[in-house]
Structure 1
């Protein structure tokens, strides 16, 4: 068995480190993940996760109290997912987070779901639209990595 690579991360911001651990954990659960996904104009979620049964989860990564307090848009994300979660590190005061939301404790290498976000299933048309947008975004991002000079992705 190959050991996981523990790549140093000096260039990542604290929220990006949390997102990396969250993405690794979600991938271990069979989810596909995209960081900094735009479900609709004016919204940008930290992590959008597409599950093996088509479920869509939004995970917002908060690296500090100030980061959390400055987030005025999070309730707008609820209409774009089946479950909503906060991802924070172990030092974060979780009493700040609203009840009725999911909770993930993360670091730069992994994460653990401590509280499952309540399920509020998306309408079929919105799920289809978001799933297609997720697929297009992921394909364009991969294409951009493979051919950075091609242009035309967003």
Structure 2
């Protein structure tokens, strides 16, 4: 697997093709906005964020991908993500009605080629200790994944 070019989206078998498409377009938008992103990042709460984005000023976004109305209605965990980010967004496809998404979160519409922010997320700045914890977790997760790309056999020592 090449180390150069666009990073791959971590696939663990839980994501639908629609979710993977939304993730790709959303990550392209975030990259254009100078954010670094990780998918399926484990959080201190035990949850996994669909996308965590980190800006150079240490602003942290979490983007929760919703591939359908049923996917959104089945999800009761998304409010927990607020404790781990400065801004929370939902990312959807054009086939998901935007009006069902909570007004107190940002909204992104995405396809396989890019995305657009339909509604900015409210800012709720993290406490310094939580920010530090998230920054360390982001760096550690990214480093382990990069090492796994360079040496795939090392993946058997533990997953991220």
The TM-score with structure 2 as length reference comes to 0.86
| In 2, Cα distance between equivalents of 1:65 and 1:140 | 34
Is 2:105 the counterpart of 1:65? no
Q: How many pairs were matched up?
A: 146
- Within 5 Å, give how 1:2-151 maps onto structure 2: 13-151=17-155
Give the Å deviation of 1:90: 1.4
| In 1, Cα distance between equivalents of 2:16 and 2:91 | 16
| In 2, Cα distance between equivalents of 1:47 and 1:100 | 18
Partner in structure 2 of residue 8 of structure 1 = none
Q: What SS does the aligned partner of 1:150 have?
A: helix
| In 2, Cα distance between equivalents of 1:130 and 1:98 | 24
Q: Deviations over 1:2-24 (max 9, x none)?
A: xx99xxxxx96211110111111
Q: Deviations over 1:92-125 (max 9, x none)?
A: 1111111111000101121111111000000001
| In 2, Cα distance between equivalents of 1:65 and 1:72 | 13
Partner in structure 1 of residue 9 of structure 2 = none
Runs of 4+ in 1 over 3 A off after TM superposition: none
| In 2, Cα distance between equivalents of 1:19 and 1:93 | 17
